Amino acid sequence: MGFTPRRYLGVKPPSPTLLLPFLLPVLLVGGQGDGNAAMDNVVTERMAEESHRQDSAYLLIFIMLLTLTILTIWLFKHRRFRFLHETGLAMIYGLLVGVILRFGIHVPQSTSDVVLECAVNASPATLLVNVSGRFYEYTLKGEVSRGKDHQVQDDEMLRKVTFDPEVFFNILLPPIIFHAGYSLKRRHFFRNIGSILTYAFMGTVISCFVIGSLVAFASLGSVSEDFLCIYPALKSHRLSAAVTVLAIFNELKVDVDLYALLFGESVLNDAVAIVLSSSIVAYQPTGDNSHSFEAMAVLKSFGIFLGVFSGSFALGMATGVMTALISFYFTKLRDFPLLETGLFFLMSWSTFLLAEACGMTGVVAVLFCGMTQAHYTYNNLSRDSQDRTKQLFELLNFLAENFIFSYMGLTLFSFQSHVFNPMFIIGAFLAVFLGRAANIYPLSFLLNLGRRNKIGMNFQHVMMFAGLRGAMTFALSIRDTATYARQMMFSTTLLIVFFTVWICGGGTTPMLSFMSIPVGVDSDQEHSVSN
Amino acid sequence: MGFTPRRYLGVKPPSPTLLLPFLLPVLLVGGQGDGNAAMDNVVTERMAEESHRQDSAYLLIFIMLLTLTILTIWLFKHRRFRFLHETGLAMIYGLLVGVILRFGIHVPQSTSDVVLECAVNASPATLLVNVSGRFYEYTLKGEVSRGKDHQVQDDEMLRKVTFDPEVFFNILLPPIIFHAGYSLKRRHFFRNIGSILTYAFMGTVISCFVIGSLVAFASLGSVSEDFLCIYPALKSHRLSAAVTVLAIFNELKVDVDLYALLFGESVLNDAVAIVLSSSIVAYQPTGDNSHSFEAMAVLKSFGIFLGVFSGSFALGMATGVMTALISFYFTKLRDFPLLETGLFFLMSWSTFLLAEACGMTGVVAVLFCGMTQAHYTYNNLSRDSQDRTKQLFELLNFLAENFIFSYMGLTLFSFQSHVFNPMFIIGAFLAVFLGRAANIYPLSFLLNLGRRNKIGMNFQHVMMFAGLRGAMTFALSIRDTATYARQMMFSTTLLIVFFTVWICGGGTTPMLSFMSIPVGVDSDQEHSVSN
């Protein structure tokens, strides 16, 4: 299981060996001075090569997983087998590979890890180590074990498979959201914009209060430690992009209003969660761990929310309009579809990054950028580029989505610092469920007072059911797993996502027919980006 | 310029602050135990967020660079301005941004870096640091300064912009090579296969001997230190993918035989270089720094070369054929162009990774995979997927190529450990030039004895001229910049690449007309992948 004690410094000098065996004797014999430096260089070279080889192998695992998923999806589609969605499938494959990596393969333990017993007061982001006169730079990857009373776990391979969460956030998420915006039925989205904003903002606030007070109630004893849980909880659990369910809805061509409501709520939740978490951080330093929100604070949060939301909205629109203008004025660009497509792709991606870099929400920005691109730029493009962009984003969306889900499956076993606390998990499920219920039903009641086109009870049940969390939650909660509380959050999130994908994903089709919600509607608008 | 001395441990406790200013007082006041842990968590959270924001900003810089390049390329094409190739342009933009980042912007120095003065005998790949009972994992990024007599340079931003070379190798390089294979005029490649193999294998060996003996001759005094230079030299300098010149040739539709010769040689050099470097490493441990190759060693090297080359070749072919078979037997896959394209893309990429993971050369594997895919799989694909794959790889190639070149420009100023040694640079240019000359002219003479279709003197001059190094050299030499010798190599390589792109790239068109080599030929076969 990997509970190998590491060698401690001073007891035995560590050797930098991820190396081929034949180099070992030389290392042990190795002389001093120049000769030693020479050997060091060859050693470094060898290490770099070995590390490159490993990186290739790890990436290969994921590519193979995706290939397998595609072949099985094809088989499913061919046999018209709909019980399990492709994302659930990707997850299962990931899970299997995770089990194999964890229990099946035992690579020789790397002897290159050293435990430094230095008295550092806090964990810095970068570390410089003075190795006999040379300085080496190290970057923080995260906390490894749970405390000093536990052995430090060690498995090079598993640690390497669990790679940088920034990749998810900056590379895999944007295409998914952009594609959603690009192929969205904008008419229905804007027809329901009021309800969407209500669910997104009011609903999230309600859920937060419910979850927050439940957690506070459950843990009166150790308040300060548990307060930490609310913070990531707000951040990750309130982000219900629910990509799976949406994907199924999209495929089944479910009622467009229901789709618009769910989709809009999921995406805008991001903006709300960011604001809530930042306002909580602004509170924290006052010292008292009170969970109460004062009136001023709520107003201030609302102000920040409006700022973040409208800022992201404006940014997304601006980039979209700019691309449209470039493609309109530089008409000669049409002669070079490659340049045109490249420009389109880069401008859209930069929206996300720009928003994130400015501290706004890239998800909202890239969503509206996608909508603007579809509305304006699309019509300025050459026929060739129209096809290219549509196909490119479709492919990227497909690959990114399946990658994320197979990675999730893999992570359940490959992540080394899982903290499964049964009480916390049950509590989290309960809190999320209650929070969701306190959000959907009362708000729907209120909204129905003003809506001509009422939100039926069946819609409300589906929203309740589909409101659990998907890929984005995962991406957000894996971003920082450095502390104990966050590791617990991460493990719990993972379980909730699994639950969502398998139970909710698998149960969507039966549920829709049980609730007598029409599917297969509005197929004429499907795959048209210019409606 | 960033020569800020860091705070040393023990003198002053470091604070983990990439944080917002308002959190600082709290940190300083911060209590013990739980409360402190709570603050630590908020702090970690903040750090993660700040780091995410920065990462977004750095990625944004590159996206912006690419966007700018595309717009300027369009302008150039529009005005039929051919003096500077787009890759040269990307480089110039990168250079400008590098200068701005280096000298223009002064971010507040991160106080989160700590210098640990622990007596470690060697630099391990992973470090565990015990911070008051919690273990944090750190990974090695490389050597920072030149020695103990230098101050440790510190610029968070510049260090972060110089990102992981594995990205180049595993993500950016495969599409370029695959595209080359996929759109290659296979007929001309195989017509010249004998000459290509001769140039690639014999030529590289000759060049190595010339460069090696020049370096050895120049440095009789300090043999052991300088011997290190040969090793990376072999590895990086002998890899002349010369992407720029090839791109220009491709665009000008230069004589297909010349193109095939240069292209084939460039790509196969990789295999040769890998073998040569690994056989040198196998020598090194014997202790004597003799530069002589014995007969057995040459034979053994030749055997390894054959193994690596044929292994990669077989791997590439096998993946290609497998994809072809899948697309042939699973004919129903044609109904889902998205799945088909995804499968095609993933299978092709996995070839590269598989070969690298097996210690073979991914470049050769993915090249032949591309050729096989174009020859067999392409015809099995649906019409829709044929267009999709062609356009996808065209776009990926375009983006990857320009990304690499703008990154190269940026690196000249952002890389912190440049070692510019004028003597070494002049020597390297001279050695590379002589090595190239000793390779091309005698071999061409020998080859012409057997060829019906002689390689003319003008072709030879162009091959000499175009044989300098491009993107791949760079990607290879940046893979490991941990030691002094490698840093010097890296800086020198960068200069040689710059020289290649600007002088050779800019001078190609005049040179071709001066040498009266026909351009604009065979345009009927251009962009057809099924010739």
* Each residue's pLDDT tens digit, B160-173: 566 566 666 677 77
- Chain B residues touching residue A135 (CB < 8 angstroms): 115, 143-145, 152
3 state SS of B295: helix
For residue B431, give the amino acid letter. Answer: A
Q: Which of B273, B38, B25, B141 is nearest to A126 (CA)?
A: B141
Question: What interhelical angle do A295-329 and A256-283 show, nearest 10?
Answer: 120
3 state SS of B129: strand
Question: CB distance A129–B127 less than 8 Å?
Answer: yes
> What is the least distance, in Å, from the CA of A500 to any CA of chain B?
25
Q: Is the pLDDT of residue A30 over 50?
A: no
3 state SS of B291: coil
Question: CB distance B159–A137 less than 8 Å?
Answer: yes
Which of A15, A66, A127 is the closest to B122 by Cβ? Answer: A15
Q: Interface pTM (ipTM) of the complex?
A: 0.71
Distance CA B70, CA B399 (A): 9
> What is the least distance, in Å, from the CA of B155 to any CA of chain A?
11
Q: Is the pLDDT of residue A153 over 80?
A: no
Q: Which of A392, A471, A521 is nearest to A86 (CA)?
A: A471
Q: What are phi and psi of A363, to 5 degrees?
A: -65, -45
Question: CB distance A483–B338 less than 8 Å?
Answer: no
> What is the least distance, in Å, from the CA of A366 to any CA of chain B?
14
- Chain A residues touching residue B354 (CB < 8 angstroms): 56, 60
Question: CB distance A483–B41 less than 8 Å?
Answer: yes
Give pLDDT, residue A297.
Answer: 66
Q: What are phi and psi of B130, to 5 degrees?
A: -90, 100
Q: Is the pLDDT of residue B353 over 50?
A: yes
Checking A495-498 for CB contacts under 8 A at 24+ apart, the result is A495/A425, A496/A237, A496/A428, A496/A429, A496/A432, A496/A468, A496/A469, A497/A408, A497/A469, A497/A470, A497/A471, A497/A473, A498/A91, A498/A408, A498/A412
Give CATH for domain A165-285+295-515.
1.20.1530.20
> What is the least distance, in Å, from the CA of A285 to any CA of chain B?
6
Q: Which of A99, A1, A90 is nearest to A414 (CA)?
A: A99
* Each residue's pLDDT tens digit, B94-152: 888 888 877 776 554 444 444 554 445 455 555 666 555 555 666 665 555 443 333 33
Distance CA B373, CA B433 (A): 37
Smallest CA–CA distance from B362 into chain A, residue: A56
More confident residue, A498 or A160: A498
Strands B126-131 and A113-116: parallel
* Each residue's pLDDT tens digit, B16-60: 322 222 222 222 223 333 444 445 555 665 666 677 777 778 788
Q: How many CA atoms lie within 13 A of A153 on its CB side?
A: 17
Buried/exposed code over B226-249 (b: 16+ C-beta within 10 A; e: otherwise): bbbbbbbbbbbbbbbbbbbbbbbb
Residues B495 and B237: beta-carbon distance below 8 Å:
no
Question: CB distance B121–A112 less than 8 Å?
Answer: no
Give pLDDT, residue B74.
Answer: 80
The residues that bridge with B169 in the sheet, in sequence order, are none
Q: What are phi and psi of A110, to 5 degrees?
A: -70, 130
A525 secondary structure, DSSP code: G
> What is the least distance, in Å, from the CA of B435 to any CA of chain A?
24
> What is the least distance, in Å, from the CA of B373 to any CA of chain A?
16
3 state SS of A116: strand
* Each residue's pLDDT tens digit, B274-318: 666 555 555 444 444 444 556 676 677 677 777 888 888 899 999
CA distances from A419 to A154, A297, B298 (A): 16, 33, 56
3 state SS of A123: coil
Here the tokens at position B223 are 């043999």
Q: Is the pLDDT of residue A466 over 50?
A: yes
In sequence order, which ranges of B330-456 are alpha helices (DSSP H)? Answer: 337-357, 362-372, 378-380, 383-414, 422-450
Distance CA B42, CA B146 (A): 37
Smallest CA–CA distance from A122 into chain B, residue: B131
Q: Which of A89-98, A123-132, A420-429, B410-419 has the lowest mean pLDDT?
A: A123-132
Question: CB distance A391–B388 less than 8 Å?
Answer: yes
Secondary element (H or E) of residue A381: none
The conformational region for residue A253 under phi > 0 = left, psi -120 to 50 = alpha, else beta, is left
- Chain A residues touching residue B289 (CB < 8 angstroms): 38
Give the CA angle between residues B161, B164, B166 to the nearest 5°: 150
Give pLDDT, residue A84.
Answer: 66
Rounded to an integer, the average pLDDT of A46-72 is 78
- For residue A349, give every residue at least 6 positions away whose Cβ sits within 8 Å of its Cβ, in sequence order, or none: A174, A178, A366, B63
3-state secondary structure B75-110: HHHHHCCCCCCHHHHHHHHHHHHHHHHHHHCCCCCC
Predicted TM-score of the model (pTM): 0.72
Q: Which of A221-230, A255-264, B462-471 has the lowest mean pLDDT?
A: A221-230
> What is the least distance, in Å, from the CA of A462 to any CA of chain B?
29
Question: CB distance B281–A114 less than 8 Å?
Answer: no
Smallest CA–CA distance from B353 into chain A, residue: A56
Distance CA A70, CA B414 (A): 41
> What is the least distance, in Å, from the CA of A292 to any CA of chain B?
18
Q: How many CA atoms lie within 13 A of B206 on its CB side?
A: 17
- Chain A residues touching residue B71 (CB < 8 angstroms): 326, 330, 343
Which of B71, B129, B362 is the closest to A120 by Cβ? Answer: B129
Rounded to an integer, the average pLDDT of A159-185 is 73
* Each residue's pLDDT tens digit, B240-278: 333 445 555 665 566 777 777 777 777 676 666 666 655
- Chain B residues touching residue A345 (CB < 8 angstroms): 395, 399
- Chain A residues touching residue B52 (CB < 8 angstroms): 166, 169, 356, 479
Distance CA B87, CA B245 (A): 10
Rounded to an integer, the average pLDDT of A141-164 is 51
Distance CA B467, CA B504 (A): 9
More confident residue, B376 or A290: B376
In sequence order, which ranges of A330-414 are alpha helices (DSSP H)? Answer: 337-357, 362-372, 378-380, 383-414
Q: Which of B229, B514, B522, B76 is nearest to A330 (CA)?
A: B76
Instruction: Give the count of beta carbons closer than 10 Å to the beta carbon of residue B39.
Output: 21
- Chain B residues touching residue A362 (CB < 8 angstroms): 56
Give pLDDT, residue A165.
Answer: 61
- Chain A residues touching residue B287 (CB < 8 angstroms): 26
Question: CB distance B113–A126 less than 8 Å?
Answer: yes
DSSP state string for A491-515: HHHHHHHHHIIIIIHHHHHHHHHHT
Tokens 């930042």 — which residue?
A: A278
Averaged pLDDT of chain B: 67
- Chain B residues touching residue A42 (CB < 8 angstroms): 231, 281, 284
Tokens 């706004």 — which residue?
A: A360
- Chain B residues touching residue A112 (CB < 8 angstroms): 124-126
Residues B252 and B511: beta-carbon distance below 8 Å:
no
Question: CB distance B156–A59 less than 8 Å?
Answer: no
- The B126-131 sheet, strands edge to edge: A113-116, B126-131, B134-143, A134-143, A126-131, B113-116
Which of B142, B147, B228 is the closest to A41 by Cβ? Answer: B228
Distance CA B263, CA B242 (A): 9
B133 secondary structure, DSSP code: T
Smallest CA–CA distance from A32 into chain B, residue: B121
Question: CB distance B395–A342 less than 8 Å?
Answer: yes
Which of A13, A127, A353 is the closest to B114 by Cβ? Answer: A127
Question: CB distance B53–A356 less than 8 Å?
Answer: yes
In sequence order, which ranges of B122-200 are alpha helices (DSSP H)? Answer: 156-161, 165-167, 173-182, 186-191, 193-197
> What is the least distance, in Å, from the CA of A464 to any CA of chain B?
30
- For residue A15, give every residue at least 6 positions away whose Cβ sits within 8 Å of its Cβ, in sequence order, or none: A24, A27, A28, A111, A112, B122
Q: Where are the domains of chain B?
A: 165-285+295-515
Summary count for chain A: helices (H), strands (E):
22, 3
Residues A412 and A176: beta-carbon distance below 8 Å:
no
> What is the least distance, in Å, from the CA of B345 to any CA of chain A?
9
Confidence class of residue A316 from pLDDT cuts 50, 70 and 90? very high
Distance of CA A245 to the CA centre of its chain: 16
- Chain B residues touching residue A133 (CB < 8 angstroms): 147-148
